[in-house]
């Protein structure tokens, strides 16, 4: 078996090795899916746009209009996230796969120069201080 989509891979790994990352409550599970899909289908394209046109592409291929569009989109989605974080983690006070999936995209946005609001910044500090994040960044 080969799995090639990041959200599918993350879901598989969580179910197999860390089922506590997956809420058993149906509403909480739907919220996990909501935030995971939002991260990769809505927010990530804007974050990548910024990275491409600010850093990755050779300077002669960078498009300032695309860069500004990506920055505006990223800011809009980060504001949405900022308003949604009401507890320690996205789904309350329990760390879940939603935090991993969304946090990975926010991390990309920060690498592209995105500014975080206070709640999102505190949430990211909680995520990046976890042993698993530190281990992943070290490898």
Domain boundaries of the chain, sorted by first residue: 6-138
What's the confidence (pLDDT) of residue 123?
A: 98
What's the confidence (pLDDT) of residue 28?
A: 97
8 Å CB contact between 120 and 106: yes
Report the mean per-residue pLDDT for the chain.
Answer: 95
6 pLDDT higher than 80: yes
**Tokens representing residue 105 in the block:** 């995209």
14 pLDDT higher than 90: yes
Q: Looking up tokens 């491409």, which residue turns up?
A: 52
CA atoms within 13 A on the CB side of 75: 8
Task: Map residue 122 onto helix, strand or coil.
Answer: helix
22 pLDDT higher than 90: yes
Report the alpha-carbon distance of residue 80 to residue 84 in Å, rounded. Answer: 6
Class of 6-138 in CATH:
mainly alpha
Q: What is the mean pLDDT of residues 54-62?
A: 94
Kindly write down the DSSP assignment for every residue of 76-89, as one continuous string: HHHHHHHHH--SSB
Report the alpha-carbon distance of residue 17 to residue 27 in Å, rounded. Answer: 22
Q: Is the entire prediction scored with pTM above 0.75?
A: yes
Kindly write down the DSSP assignment for every residue of 51-100, as one continuous string: HIIIIIS-GGG--HHHHHHHHHHHHHHHHHHHHH--SSBTTBSS--HHHH
What's the confidence (pLDDT) of residue 137?
A: 78
């Amino acid at each position: 078996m080969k799995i090639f989509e990041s959200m599918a891979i993350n879901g598989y790994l969580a179910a197999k090795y860390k089922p506590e990352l997956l809420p058993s409550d149906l509403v909480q599970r739907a919220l996990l899916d909501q935030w995971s899909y939002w991260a990769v289908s809505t927010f990530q394209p804007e974050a990548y746009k910024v990275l491409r046109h600010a850093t990755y592409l050779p300077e002669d291929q960078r498009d300032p209009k695309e860069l500004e569009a990506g920055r505006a989109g990223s800011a809009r989605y980060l504001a949405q996230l900022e308003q949604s974080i009401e507890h320690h983690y996205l789904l309350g006070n329990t760390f879940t796969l939603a935090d991993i999936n969304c946090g990975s995209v926010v991390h990309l946005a920060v690498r592209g120069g995105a500014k975080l609001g206070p709640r999102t910044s505190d949430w990211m500090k909680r995520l990046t201080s976890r042993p698993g994040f530190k281990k992943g960044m070290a490898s």
